């Protein structure tokens, strides 16, 4: 019997049956037919401390006894107030105003609306958004508009709004990116630049330097252009620090966080703004307010999960765990790099990626289904981006699982590359 479920980023009829997961713990997923799958991509980049973390699960269960959901316009509640205060404490100054929503895409939409609202309310309307080539900011129309155009949004392309694009600052070509940004800032008076700091995730785990990030931030500041950091993927330790921006000593005007905000247990996002952005919306005119809400804005149970995540960051040696995982992966990456057929081996924090030397790359590469089958046969949740194989495991993964994972990757390289 076929299921009525329509899955995301899935071509039904190809690659079925779809495994059914009954239970998850740590870095492991357990299927209904008794298999144990290693979650090497943190269930699409969300799970940080591991699945079913006891502290987060307990916080959810506790909160579910008292307050499930409440309209967040005109009402407030303790889990949201506590989380907002804890976020302001842990985030760099002057990031001080927390706007809640429920997904990374929505946090980006809110960031864009904050930036455009800022300029409108200063009676100096600006509409141009600057983006980086290869970026991904979500699958809503605003997110798609500021993201890379490709196979995954071709059908909607004509309705996406126009943006100014910077070339990706690959090593040696950083100056071209900075020059392009400088020219756009001078000639087009853009409202904002939005970037994924240090690593473009869905664009293929492409890493660029902290110096470039910091120079882009400085250029924006110099020209009065707002700087939006989309840390939906990079936040919560993925690149080795709480935020990727930290590594470049950059503080954005607007920051997007989601995915690991609840440790990956519940859908929740925040868009964090500086006082300048907030104050531009706080006039005596109701027409100047930020016109945005989702039904589940600041859902109390999701906020309770967020508070448990922050407690883990406060009480447990999370950064040490991340450092150890980074090191353990680097050793294994060094060995992989010796294999013929590997191109561009790279790592930032806990994220590792290699490109395979195969004919035909890109998201719809013909090698992709075979690669997926390869990993599925080995009970590994690895989901290559085209012919880029990457790992981004939960921080609790152990050495034994890492060995199994890297063996599977080594075998894939051997099987699928043309050397």
Ligand X SMILES: *Cc1c(COP(=O)(O)O)cnc(C)c1O
* 103 is a contact residue toward ligand X (CB under 6 A): yes
Maximal C-alpha separation, the chain: 66
Query: Which one among 86, 132, 181, 232 touches ligand X, defined by CB under 6 A?
Result: 232
Among the residue ranges 10-18, 101-109, 311-319, 360-368, the one whose residues contact ligand X (CB under 6 A)? 101-109
List own/partner pairs for 384-387 with CB under 8 A and 24 or more apart: 385/202, 385/203, 385/204, 385/205, 386/204, 386/361, 386/362, 387/355, 387/356, 387/358, 387/360, 387/361, 387/362, 387/416
Query: What is the footprint of ligand X within residues 190-209 (CB under 6 A)?
Result: 196, 201
* 271 is a contact residue toward ligand X (CB under 6 A): no
| Residue 147 vs 408, nearer CB to ligand X | 147
Residues 181 and 171: their CA atoms lie apart, in Å, by 17
Residue 150 DSSP code? S
Q: Which of 179, 190, 182, 193 lies closest to 132 in space, CA to CA? A: 193
Query: Which one among 104, 252, 263, 386 touches ligand X, defined by CB under 6 A?
Result: 104
Query: Which one among 105, 145, 262, 361 touches ligand X, defined by CB under 6 A?
Result: 105
Convert residues 14-53 into a mask of x (bound to ligand X by CB under 6 A) and - (unbound). Answer: ----------------------------------------
Q: Report the nearest approach of ligand X to the CB of residue 141 (Å).
A: 13
Residue 392 DSSP code? -
CA distances in angstroms from 75 to 81, 116, 275, 345, listed in the order given: 11, 26, 22, 50
Query: Which one among 59, 91, 108, 328 touches ligand X, defined by CB under 6 A?
Result: 108
For 259, list phi and psi in degrees, rounded to 5: 30, -90
Query: What is the footprint of ligand X within residues 249-268 (CB under 6 A)?
Result: 258
Q: Report the nearest approach of ligand X to the CB of residue 410 (Å).
A: 27
Q: Which helix (H) or strand (E) holds 325?
A: helix 318-337
| Residue 47 vs 121, nearer CB to ligand X | 47
First-to-last alpha carbon distance for the chain, in angstroms, is: 43
* Polymer length in residues for the chain: 419
Residues 386 and 79: their CA atoms lie apart, in Å, by 40
Query: What is the footprint of ligand X within residues 159-178 (CB under 6 A)?
Result: none
Convert residues 120-139 into a mask of x (bound to ligand X by CB under 6 A) and - (unbound). Answer: ----------------xxx-
For 252, list phi and psi in degrees, rounded to 5: -80, 170
* 296 is a contact residue toward ligand X (CB under 6 A): no
Cβ–Cβ < 8 Å for 310, 86: yes
* 212 is a contact residue toward ligand X (CB under 6 A): no
* 281 is a contact residue toward ligand X (CB under 6 A): no
- By Cβ distance, which residue is nearest to ligand X? 104
| Residue 160 vs 324, nearer CB to ligand X | 160
* 401 is a contact residue toward ligand X (CB under 6 A): no
* 97 is a contact residue toward ligand X (CB under 6 A): no
| Residue 131 vs 220, nearer CB to ligand X | 131
The binding site for ligand X (CB under 6 A) comprises 103-105, 108, 136-138, 196, 201, 230, 232-233, 258
């Amino acid at each position: 019997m076929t299921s009525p479920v329509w899955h995301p980023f899935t071509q039904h009829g190809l690659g079925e049956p779809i495994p059914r997961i009954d239970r998850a713990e740590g870095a492991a997923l357990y299927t209904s037919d008794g298999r144990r799958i290693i979650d090497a991509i943190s269930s699409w980049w969300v799970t940080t401390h591991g699945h079913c973390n006891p502290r987060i699960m307990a916080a959810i269960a506790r909160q579910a006894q008292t307050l499930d959901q409440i309209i967040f316009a005109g009402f407030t509640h303790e889990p949201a107030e506590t989380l907002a205060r804890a976020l302001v404490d842990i985030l760099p100054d002057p990031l001080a105003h927390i706007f809640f929503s429920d997904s990374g895409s929505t946090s980006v939409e809110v960031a864009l609306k904050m930036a455009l609202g800022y300029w409108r309310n200063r009676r100096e309307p600006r509409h141009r958004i600057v983006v980086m080539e290869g970026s991904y900011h979500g699958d809503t129309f605003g997110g798609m508009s500021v993201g890379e155009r490709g196979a995954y949004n071709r059908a909607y392309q004509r309705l996406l709004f126009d943006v100014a694009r910077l070339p990706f600052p690959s090593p040696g070509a950083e100056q071209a990116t900075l020059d392009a940004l400088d020219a756009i800032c001078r000639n087009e008076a853009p409202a904002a630049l939005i970037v994924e700091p240090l690593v473009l995730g869905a664009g293929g785990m492409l890493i660029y330097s902290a110096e470039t990030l910091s120079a882009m931030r400085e250029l924006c500041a110099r020209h009065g252009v707002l700087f939006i950091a989309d840390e939906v993927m990079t936040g919560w330790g993925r690149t080795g620090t709480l935020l990727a921006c930290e590594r470049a000593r950059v503080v954005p005007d607007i920051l997007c966080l989601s995915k690991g905000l609840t440790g990956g247990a519940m859908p929740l996002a925040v868009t964090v703004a500086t006082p300048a952005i907030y104050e531009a919306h706080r006039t005596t005119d109701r027409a100047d307010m930020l016109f945005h809400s989702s039904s589940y804005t600041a859902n109390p149970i999701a906020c309770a999960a967020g508070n448990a995540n922050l407690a883990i960051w406060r009480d447990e040696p999370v950064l040490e765990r991340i450092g150890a995982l980074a090191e353990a992966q680097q050793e294994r990456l060094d060995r992989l790099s010796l294999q013929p057929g590997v191109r561009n081996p790279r790592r930032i924090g806990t994220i590792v990626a290699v490109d395979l030397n195969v004919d035909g790359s890109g998201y719809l590469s013909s090698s992709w289904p075979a690669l997926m089958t390869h990993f599925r046969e080995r009970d590994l949740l690895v989901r290559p981006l085209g012919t880029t194989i990457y790992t981004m495991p939960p921080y609790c993964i152990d050495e034994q699982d890492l060995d199994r994972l890297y063996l599977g990757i080594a075998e894939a390289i051997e099987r699928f590359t043309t050397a």
